[in-house]
Chains A and B, each alone.
Chain A
Amino acid sequence: MTAPDVRHALGSTLADADILTEIEDLIPYGFDGTATLKERPLAVVFPRSTKQVSAVVKWAREARVPVVSRGNGTGLSGGSVPVAGGLVLCLNHLDRIVELDRANLTIRAQAGVVTQDIFAAADAAGLFYPPDPGSMKISTIGGNVAENSGGLRGLKYGVTRDYVLGMEVVLADGSICRLGTACVKDVAGYSLRDLFIGSEGTLGIVTEVLLKLLPRPTARRTLLATFAAMDEAAATVSAIIAAGIVPCTLEFLDRRTIQCVEDFAHVGLPTDAEAVLLIEADGHPAAVDDEVAHIEKLCREHAATTVRVAADAAEATRLATARRSAFSALARLRPTTILEDVTVPRSELAAMIRDVEAIALKHDVQIATFGHFGDGNLHPTILTDERDTAEMHRVEAAITAIVEAALARGGTITGEHGVGLAKKPFLRRQLGDASYSLLQLVKRSFDPDGLLNPGKIFDLPA
């Protein structure tokens, strides 16, 4: 199979401009947001309707060409890297919001709609779509569903899964199928919809989603607390949770991250602090005031050096935007930035942070840490240079040690970025043999030829 063959075969299905085969077009589709993983696809295609998706998949099956779905390539586990070559099927032209239903509090959108646009459409109608991954201005809703993405508001509002009512998918044989319903309660049969959430493009292609919306909270306040030691920040988080307070956001940045973010965003973060917590409360105005006062008190009791409440919505937005840049801003320090994504039970946070520090010391690598502390989701980020082979060996050892430490503390190898390629080696260890085989069985029944995003999550036995 060559690129001209693809063009020839799909030429009657797709517009000419929607098939890319030039090498200058292929190189930029060889990677996603994950460092150091890249491979070149055979061609890139841009369907503009579910029908076109179906036709492309049908052809690919007959021609035995792998198909890798892609939203906007912000994934952080290598999910849309075309490791087996084949087609990259890019959904970002399926970008229509189909319907916002005020009576039922739902929004129906095509898979390629950018997450931020869903939020904005809901907001304009006085409603609220809570999941807000750091990448929300770029990532697509299809990508969010495929990765079951979390976000800054995960602590109180959960993750993408909690908002998906239904979806339209194209299966491996090209058939179009609807999963779930608009009903809030629905227990008819297995939840195939749930199977698709977090399936990373390996079971089928999501073309449309139906999402649940909430009423928009009437008040929102943001608070920034600084600490002289990481432990104290972690202890504060435990205290807040133990006090039964559920802020909507509880984010954490360590000293290196604070410095890089400040370098970029200039929002007045205290660059001499060891740790900061960015906390947001939302809901009814009186309740929010109460919560903020309580949180402020707990921060002070746990040795916060300063506590600052954002003066207005503009300052709060600036702080949240700065937080969203954390991962990318860390790239200022070293040429290669490798982001990890482990989650531990929240009571283990302080201990897990100490583990990470010890691992950095032991393997002599630079690690910065930030994360969604409220969910126990940490992003230890290794700052290195991929050209330094000796250092890269130490980096690999450190990554393994971090994942093992998380597992030892009852945690998971990935809290939100998915398994993709990056976490493949650890999956069986977390799941155990029986569940691991069950996953492979599910994959086989949906995609017997193994053509949908091959090589991701696990390898199938031949």
Chain B
Amino acid sequence: MSPTSATPSAPSPAVDHGPTRHLGAMDYSVLQQCMHCGMCLPTCPTYVETKKERHSPRGRIALMRAVADGELAVSKAFGEEMYYCLGCLACTTACPAGVDYPTLFEAARAEVEDAKVLDSPKRNAIRATVLRGLFTRPRLLRLVGRLLWIWQASGGQTLFRRLRLTRLLPPNLRRLEPQTPTIRARFSHQLIQPVESSANPKPLRRVAVLTGCVQDLAFSEINRATVDVLRANGCEVHTPPVQPCCGSLHGHNGDLATARDLARRQIDLIDPDRFDAIISNAGGCGSHLRNYDHLLAADDAYAAKAATWSRKLRDIHEYLVEINFRAPLAPPSPQTITYHESCHLCHGQKVSVQPRDILRAIPGVELRECGESSWCCGSAGIYNITQPKTSGWLQDRKLDLLTATGADIVATANPGCHLQIANGLQAQGDDHTTVEHPIVLLARAYAAEAND
């Protein structure tokens, strides 16, 4: 504002829609932090797709602020806008002002859920079964996973139907069926002992490994590989066999209460004081897990533990580089690899060079950089289910760039991205390019060394 001209006409009257529980109650300076400079615009996929301000970070923040100011009701359009946002956090990397978009985003979605503006019987049913029913019960989730596996392994669609398990899954499962991850024959607890000693006689460090839910069902071998590489680098590894979901799905979908609940359960299960580090190997989970300190800041009983937790939480790549991991000695088998950055790993956790460092340390690897490697692939939690159009546009854009590198392997470190890219490649009829987690590649190199 400048001296006299700043209020040339009367501001539109503020309509009081009553205090809002989340945006209205938050520290106002978080909302003020955005100064509308627009530096984030070219990095925001939804803005690039439509070129409309409402679909940009600064537009969304302006809407959130209008809600906090009581100028805008938490409307259906507001709700739709908040769910049109990918939550990819590219804006946080681009923003020089340091706007805390993750906090704003979670508060805004919680506001939408509180106001019930998007409610419909179908949406409520999905949220109740999937978010609160399934993803809070690790054993049930595994059971469903097991049955899915039987279904997939035996082609037993009939059996699946007879058991009426569709009830537990989103009604539009049929459309998504081809995208259903291939469930692994064995899950993490069948592959990993609760405690595994270090490969060195004297462990240098003691760490806990988080197995995740989607990771556990669809990519349990990545968890196994994680334990292997940690052991190979002098860690004693603790992996509780039954772990609750980290709560990221809930946090990102406006259910902060359940997210807090799950965080407390996680901390009860893995006491951060007992470990040198707590290791996550999935970009999306890690980004949320690091945030427990904020999530439980107001919880007197847990705040201190949560702070320790967040301090010790490490992404696997980050941790390996931090402890000066050992480069594998295996004789080089030539591999061309390109790296796709999971949004929540690079933007959420700022882990971007470490996975590349690890890939480059593997003998025989040629790492080929891919354009827009830190752009969202369109997976974004359950975004590919809720916004198939934008998700598909992003998937195509990503596949074009990945294919252009000519690499045989796409490395990525988040189960959502992994599935999105693998499904995309498959749909294009590409049966040559494979998708791998960098840690699996590293573990393989260590194993080749042992066989040598």
Provide the residues of chain A in CB contact with B6, threshold 8 Å.
Answer: 36-37, 421-422
User: Which residues of A lie under 8 Å from residue B8 when comparing CB positions?
Assistant: 39, 83-84, 421, 455
Q: Which one of B49-57, B146-154, B333-341, B434-442 is at the A interface?
A: B49-57
Taking a contact as CB atoms under 8 Å apart, the answer to whether A386 and B38 are in contact is no
| Cβ proximity bits B15-51 to A, threshold 8 Å, 1 near / 0 not | 0000000000000110011011111011000000001
Stretch at the interface among A22-30, A57-65, A196-204, A444-452: A22-30
Q: Are B5 and A386 in contact (CB under 8 A)?
A: no
Tell which of A24, A36, A138, A327 touches B72, judged by Cβ atoms closer than 8 Å. A24
Interface stretch among A145-153, A222-230, A278-286, A328-336? Answer: A328-336
Per-residue B-contact encoding for A58-75, CB less than 8 Å = 1, 0 else? 000000000000001110
Q: How many whole Å from B54's CB to the nearest CB in chain A?
A: 5
Distance from B89 Cβ to chain A, minimum over Cβ atoms (Å)? 15
From A74, A92, A265, B37 is in contact (CB under 8 Å) with A74
Q: Contacts A138-B38, A425-B3, A425-B4: A24 and B97 contacting too (C-beta < 8 A)? A: no
Docked complex Cα distance between A421 and B6 (Å): 7
Residues on A with beta carbons closer than 8 Å to the beta carbon of B72: 23-24, 27
Q: B54 to A24, Cβ gap below 8 A?
A: yes
Contact present for B51 and A93 (CB under 8 Å): yes
Query: What are the residues of chain A within 8 A of B3 when measuring CB–CB?
Result: 396, 399-400, 425
Q: Identify B5's interface contact among A39, A92, A328, A421, CB under 8 A.
A: A421
Question: Within the assembled complex, what's the spacing in Å between the Cα atoms of A385 and B38?
Answer: 20
- Taking CB atoms, residues of chain B closer than 8 Å to A30 are 62
Known contacts A37-B1, A135-B37, A396-B3; A25/B52 CB under 8 A: yes
Q: Which of B167-188 contact A (CB under 8 A)?
A: none
Contacts of B9 in A (CB 8 A): 39, 83-85, 455
> Contact between B1 and A386 (Cβ–Cβ < 8 Å)?
yes
Bound-complex Cα distance A422 to B12 (A): 20
Verify A137–B35 contact, CB threshold 8 A: no
Is A35 close to B, CB under 8 A?
yes
Chain B residue numbers with a CB within 8 Å of A385 are 29, 32
Contact A24 B81 (CB under 8 A): yes
Q: Does B385 contact A (CB under 8 A)?
A: no
Select from chain B the residue with minimum beta-carbon distance to A23.
Answer: B72
- Asked whether B75 is an interface residue with its Cβ less than 8 Å from the other chain, the reply is yes
- In the bound complex, residues from chain B placing their C-beta under 8 Å from that of A108 are none
Minimal Cβ-Cβ distance residue in B for A396: B3
| B75 CB contact (under 8 Å) in A24, A265, A338 | A24
Q: Is the CB of B53 within 8 A of A36?
A: no
> Cβ of B406 < 8 Å from any Cβ of A?
no
Say yes or no for B95: interface residue by CB 8 A criterion: yes
Q: Is B135 interfacial (CB-CB < 8 Å)?
A: no
A220 at the interface (CB under 8 A from B): no
Q: In angstroms, how far is the closest chain A Cβ from the Cβ of B49?
A: 13
Cα(A347)–Cα(B9), bound, Å:
40
Give the chain A neighbours of B71 by CB distance below 8 A.
27
Which of A20, A39, A338, A396 meets B11, CB within 8 Å?
Answer: A39
CB of A249 to closest CB in B, whole Å: 19
**Complex interface: chain A residues within 8 A of B53 (CB):** 25, 28-29, 73
> Is the beta-carbon distance between B36 and A73 smaller than 8 angstroms?
yes
CB–CB A331/B38 < 8 A? no
With A27-B66, A422-B5 already in contact, the answer to whether A92 and B11 are too (CB < 8 A) is no
State whether the Cβ of B159 lies closer than 8 Å to any Cβ in chain A: no
Q: Does the CB pair A328–B35 fall under 8 Å?
A: yes
Interface residues of A in 30-78 (CB under 8 A from B): 30-40, 46, 72-74, 78
Contact A329:B97 (CB < 8 A) given known A29-B53, A335-B29, A425-B2 = yes
Question: Is A263 on the interface with B (CB-CB < 8 A)?
Answer: yes
B-side contacts of A325, CB under 8 Å: 39, 96
- Does the CB pair B54–A335 fall under 8 Å? no
Say how far B398's CB is from chain A's closest CB, in angstroms: 21
User: Is B256 interfacial (CB-CB < 8 Å)?
Assistant: no
- In the bound complex, what is the Cα–Cα distance between A93 and B32 (angstroms)? 29
A137 in contact with B42 (CB, 8 Å): yes
B63: contacting residue among A28, A40, A399, A424, CB under 8 A: A28
Q: Which residues of A contact B38 (CB under 8 A)?
A: 33, 72-74, 135, 138
A335 in contact with B32 (CB, 8 Å): yes
**Do B97 and A331 touch (CB < 8 A)?**
yes
Instruction: Check B1 against A35 for contact (C-beta < 8 Å).
Output: yes
Residues in B whose Cβ lies below 8 Å from that of A31:
36, 62
| CB-contacts of A383-441 with B (<8 A) | 385-387, 392, 396, 399-400, 421-425
**Contact B37 A33, beta carbon cutoff 8 Å:** yes
Q: Is B98 an interface residue (CB 8 A)?
A: yes
A264 and B1 contact, CB distance less than 8 A: no
In the complex the two chains form, what is the Cα distance from A72 to B39 in whole Å? 11
Interface pair A421/B2, CB less than 8 Å apart: yes
Is A337 a contact partner of B62 (Cβ separation < 8 A)? Answer: no
**Distance from B44 Cβ to chain A, minimum over Cβ atoms (Å):** 11
Cα-based distance from A421 to B8 in the complex (angstroms)? 9
Which one of B29, B39, B66, B96 lies within 8 Å of A138 (CB-CB)? B39
The smallest beta-carbon distance between A223 and chain B, in angstroms, is: 23
Alpha-carbon gap, A85 to B9, bound state (A): 9
B35: contacting residue among A265, A337, A424, CB under 8 A: A337
User: Are B63's CB and A24's CB within 8 A?
Assistant: yes
- Given the complex, which residues of B lie within 8 Å of A387, measured CB to CB? 28
Pick from A35, A72, A263, A326: contact of B41, CB under 8 Å = A72
Cβ contact within 8 Å between A329 and B96:
yes
B59 at the binding interface (Cβ < 8 Å): yes
Shortest C-beta distance, B43 to chain A (Å), equals: 9
Known: A328-B97, A424-B5, A455-B8. 18 other contacts (CB 8 A): A23-B77, A25-B52, A25-B54, A27-B63, A27-B66, A33-B36, A36-B1, A39-B12, A93-B51, A114-B42, A137-B39, A137-B42, A264-B96, A328-B39, A328-B96, A338-B1, A387-B28, A423-B2
Ordered by A's residue number, 22 sampled pairs between the chains whose C-beta atoms are within 8 Å are: A24-B54, A28-B56, A33-B38, A36-B1, A38-B11, A39-B8, A40-B12, A74-B38, A93-B51, A137-B39, A138-B41, A264-B98, A327-B96, A328-B35, A331-B97, A331-B98, A336-B35, A337-B97, A338-B1, A400-B3, A421-B2, A455-B8
Chain A residues packing against B (C-beta within 8 Å):
20, 22-25, 27-40, 46, 72-74, 78, 83-85, 92-93, 114, 135, 137-138, 260-261, 263-265, 325-329, 331-332, 335-338, 385-387, 392, 396, 399-400, 421-425, 455
- The 6 A-B pairs at the shortest CB distance, nearest first, are namely A28-B59, A331-B97, A328-B96, A28-B53, A325-B96, A335-B32
